[in-house]
Structure 1
């Protein structure tokens, strides 16, 4: 049985990914940080699907926390076949109001978390000459977004990281890809006003916002056998928001 490790798995896109992988027959190592109730609820759903699953608490910005989580997951499941780096934070703020602490926290979670988790999980994949890594970025990492300079920068860093690492580990049989969601119906976007959401829908050719499940479908595809010759790519799941 293949095992997937998913960070930020307790809600939103991460939760949808966990359930989607479970339906594909994967064992699931689900990493969470703050919402224990949501994590326990996810575990109940995974168990109801007959999935071999375990919860792990970790702050992806903390190297020691990630090392402990990855070691425990590898000991429990024997190996990690796929890694989904989904954990992230967002904040809307004028650039002139940003503090050094705002900047450091955003980069340490959104970009640093990807680094720490890959650093811990990748050695096992290299030894087995097999593995799939999917990093979750954002369309704002491609186009940039007003009042989200630090968020956009962190997600752009994830894209650069993905493309570079894919070239480095490709000869060892490991693929590294990136999914860049558009406007998705998650708690992260729950603070947007109805007027803002309506405007974003109007800018999207499919005339609606996306669902976490639609992003999860793309992630599962990139971890599957039909994507074995795809690496170093950024797949936009945005309803056509950014066009070509």
Structure 2
């Protein structure tokens, strides 16, 4: 599957799922924008990996929660690659507390990044996606947005909110031929999962019919398909990639 001639922006691409998506796009021939907030060295490592494999990529620093910073990122991207074709809203964070113990700051910071960042990036690149021959908006949600999760009311709310956002933007894009879809991974072997205690990981595994956590590659292949021309008749969908966990 090729993404030749496509310019793809991946937010939060210095590690985890974002890094996997960026490298997958690079291998498929896309020009890749590796967005990061603070992990500059890691972002450059991703760019190096893409270039070593024969692709083209640039690192661009921007906190997605900062609208002005995202606007500046969009201008930098256009100066180098021109208008984009694909935006993957992957950047996100967790600040886990039971709701009783969750401060307003804990709540708001997750909202600002996980939902506000999606608004900022989508709004900044919206015209590019509308005008692209194969415009794609891909929002990375989570099974937690579908099921909820103890101690993650802020995170679950943001990831669930992406469903309504994706569906609405899909309707608004439809007349242009561009699409918006949402990929909702289950629990993936990343740094985020490493922070979960072994006891809790065992409890999660008991809920997964395939009896394993996802590898990053399990997610990136789905995102690559959604980014490509083969998905042109699919829009407004939530793709649950969770090992068979119930909705």
TM-score by length of 1: 0.97
Counterparts of 1:127 and 1:84 in 2: how far apart (Å)?
17
Once the two structures are superposed, residues 73-115 of structure 1 have per-residue CA deviations (whole angstroms, 9 ceiling, x without a partner) of: 1221012111100000012201011111111111110011111
Tell me the CA shift for residue 44 of structure 1.
1.1
2:92 counterpart of 1:92: no
Secondary structure of 2:13's aligned partner? coil
1:195 alignment counterpart: 199
2:47 counterpart of 1:43: yes
Counterparts of 1:60 and 1:3 in 2: how far apart (Å)?
19
Alignment counterpart, residue 234 of structure 1, candidates 227, 231, 238: 238
Which residues of 2 match residues 102-121 of structure 1 at below 5 A?
A: 102-121=106-125
Counterparts of 1:7 and 1:210 in 2: how far apart (Å)?
20
Tell me the CA shift for residue 127 of structure 1.
2.9
Tell whether the 8 Å contact from 2:84 to 2:132 is kept in structure 1 after alignment. Answer: no
Structure 1 runs (4+) deviating above 6 angstroms are none
Secondary structure of 1:236's aligned partner? strand
Alignment counterpart, residue 14 of structure 1, candidates 18, 22, 34: 18
1:157 alignment counterpart: 161
Secondary structure of 1:177's aligned partner? strand
Tell whether the 8 Å contact from 2:31 to 2:56 is kept in structure 1 after alignment. Answer: yes
2:189 alignment counterpart: 185
Secondary structure of 2:33's aligned partner? strand
Tell whether the 8 Å contact from 1:202 to 1:208 is kept in structure 2 after alignment. Answer: no
Counterparts of 1:2 and 1:151 in 2: how far apart (Å)?
31
Secondary structure of 1:29's aligned partner? strand
Report how many residues are paired. Answer: 243
Alignment counterpart, residue 60 of structure 1, candidates 58, 64, 69: 64
Once the two structures are superposed, residues 132-180 of structure 1 have per-residue CA deviations (whole angstroms, 9 ceiling, x without a partner) of: 0100011111111111001100111111110111011111111000000
Counterparts of 1:128 and 1:2 in 2: how far apart (Å)?
9
Tell me the CA shift for residue 125 of structure 1.
2.2
Alignment counterpart, residue 138 of structure 1, candidates 126, 138, 142: 142
Once the two structures are superposed, residues 47-98 of structure 1 have per-residue CA deviations (whole angstroms, 9 ceiling, x without a partner) of: 1011111000000000001000011112210121111000000122010111
Tell me the CA shift for residue 129 of structure 1.
5.4
Q: Which runs of 5+ in 2 are unaligned?
A: none
Tell whether the 8 Å contact from 1:139 to 1:242 is kept in structure 2 after alignment. Answer: no
Tell whether the 8 Å contact from 2:21 to 2:220 is kept in structure 1 after alignment. Answer: yes
